[in-house]
A and B are shown apart, each in its own frame.
Chain A
Amino acid sequence: MKKFLLISILIIFVLTSCSIKSADDYYNSTESGTLTATISINCSTAVEYKGSKRKKAEILTDYKVNFKKGDTVFDAFKNACKNKKIQFEYSGMGDNIYIEGIDYLYEFECGEHSGWEYSVNGAFPSIGCNAYELKNGDTIRWLYTCDLGADIGNKYEHT
């Protein structure tokens, strides 16, 4: 009896902490917001990578997305992907959200130093995308790197 109670409380806790939506519900819900940002997603490095099957570099080009005050890069990115029905996968929670793959292109697919990085107004912040607060009119670029950022202008300096 005790065990049963414990397990049911655990299941209820897990279910309430997740929001489960059907695909239609998810894509039809729109996020409102008065501020706008511009998002581009590009994987030209993956197209050039030897042995890659990727043909198209532009996944999203200069897309205007709305966001609320206090929203982070991750929130704006999420809304853009939702509106344009782009697949992505993330892991982690809170400030430590990490984007593993966008549009079926995943980290480590083009060598062991490959993955997604983001820049805001041309600079690469070295913090998680859910920790960077956006300002109105910011330009976000999600870029795929095959060499720890060296090929997209964000060389990794070992300290």
Chain B
Amino acid sequence: MNTLKNFNPVVLLLYFVYVLFISIFSFNPILLASGMLGAVLYCLVVSDKRSVIKSLSACIVILLAVTVTNPLFSHNGKTVLFFINDNRVTLESLIYGAVLGLCITEVIIWFKCFNLVFDSERFIFLFGKISPKLALVLSMTLRFVPSFIKSFREINRTQKLIGNSRRLKRYLNSFSAVVTQSMENSIITSDSMNSRGYGAKKRTFYSRFRFTLSDALFLIISTTLLALSVIFKSDFTYYPGFTFSEINAVSVTGYLSFIVLAFIPFIYELKEGIRWKYLISKI
């Protein structure tokens, strides 16, 4: 179940922009970790666990790689761990690398959430007004990649079954077959579009998205939380030594408002799930 889809796409897009904006520009480990947690929990509730674990394990590899690489190239920092060729390897740059990795992986997970919410219909609704042609082309190309991979796998499997056992040759054969197939498909698509009169008149589309009261509420809440976390932001610097703004009522307000902002999709999904169970139990 994905109840977040009920909201207006514009409001949802704004929400994702807010979250990504804060998590990228704050570069604060607490905010990054809470944003990551919110995104992962939402993915776990909405999509199947296997795909979440798959992308999380990829994220952990990226995180570790960035954490290990950063101290080898950046030698700033007060706490020396050891020396390589007269350059110091410091704790500060190790932590900085970890936070950088967290930042990258968080963006990846939030984009996964974005993909869970935005299908091609919402995409065309969002960008169709600005440029209908671009929206159409984008949605067609985005669809092309998975369908290309799918038909490649199918052809490759068939080739294997009919006894094409040499791996490289099989891949090459399947690839050329898939390219030929996709070219044929594109001709068919363009013929079909032509015969249905594409380009003859200005393109119109119907969208059933309206701006409702709950959309307004969602927009107001998320914008307020964004404003609060920007106004009460706390600084966090890494070089030469760690310094952060002291934890008081102001900074805690900033942190809490971002945490609530990041957890909105998860909380909403949970709330709707409980409501659904409750309504079923009454039948």
Report which A residues bind B (CB closer than 8 A): 18-23, 25-26, 78, 82, 87, 89-90, 101, 104, 106
CB closest chain-B residue, reference A23: B80
CB < 8 Å neighbour of B76 from A22, A89, A90: A89
Q: Which residues of B contact A101 (CB under 8 A)?
A: 76
B82 lies within 8 A of A23 (CB)? yes
21 A-B contacts, Cβ less than 8 Å apart?
A18-B84, A18-B85, A20-B83, A21-B82, A21-B83, A22-B83, A23-B82, A23-B83, A23-B88, A26-B82, A26-B83, A26-B86, A78-B86, A82-B86, A87-B88, A87-B240, A89-B75, A90-B86, A101-B76, A104-B76, A104-B78
B87 lies within 8 A of chain A by Cβ: yes
Residue in B86, B87, B88, B240 whose Cβ sees the most chain A Cβ within 10 Å: B86
Q: Which residues of B contact A104 (CB under 8 A)?
A: 76, 78, 239-240
CB < 8 Å neighbour of B84 from A20, A25, A87: A20
Taking A20-B82, A20-B83 as known contacts, 7 extra A-B pairs with beta carbons closer than 8 A to each other, sorted by chain A number, are: A18-B85, A19-B85, A89-B87, A89-B88, A90-B86, A101-B76, A106-B76
Complex interface bits, B75-110 against A, C-beta within 8 A gives 1, otherwise 0: 111101111111110000000000000000000000
> Which B residues, 88 to 140, have Cβ-Cβ distances below 8 Å to chain A?
88
Main secondary structure of the interface of B (DSSP, over half): loop
Q: Which residues of B contact A106 (CB under 8 A)?
A: 76
B82 lies within 8 A of A22 (CB)? yes
Main secondary structure of the interface of A (DSSP, over half): mixed
CB closest chain-A residue, reference B87: A89
Shortest CB distance A30–B (Å): 14
A104 to B80, CA, bound (A): 13
Residue in A20, A26, A82, A87 whose Cβ sees the most chain B Cβ within 10 Å: A87
Q: Which residues of A contact B85 (CB under 8 A)?
A: 18-19
Q: Which residues of A contact B88 (CB under 8 A)?
A: 23, 87, 89
Q: Which residues of A contact B81 (CB under 8 A)?
A: 23
A25 to B84, CA, bound (A): 12
A21 to B87, CA, bound (A): 10
Q: Which residues of B contact A18 (CB under 8 A)?
A: 84-85
A23 to B84, CA, bound (A): 10
Residue in A22, A25, A89 whose Cβ sees the most chain B Cβ within 10 Å: A89
Q: Which residues of B contact A82 (CB under 8 A)?
A: 86
Q: Which residues of B contact A19 (CB under 8 A)?
A: 83-85
A104 to B76, CA, bound (A): 6
Q: Which residues of B contact A87 (CB under 8 A)?
A: 75-78, 88, 240
Q: Which residues of A contact B87 (CB under 8 A)?
A: 89-90
A158 to B80, CA, bound (A): 40
A90 to B77, CA, bound (A): 14
A22 to B88, CA, bound (A): 9
CB closest chain-A residue, reference B90: A87
Q: Which residues of A contact B240 (CB under 8 A)?
A: 87, 104
Q: Which residues of A contact B239 (CB under 8 A)?
A: 104
CB closest chain-A residue, reference B241: A104
CB closest chain-B residue, reference A103: B240
Q: Which residues of A contact B77 (CB under 8 A)?
A: 87
A87 to B88, CA, bound (A): 8
CB closest chain-B residue, reference A87: B88
CB closest chain-A residue, reference B86: A78
Q: Which residues of B contact A23 (CB under 8 A)?
A: 80-83, 88
Shortest CB distance A48–B (Å): 21
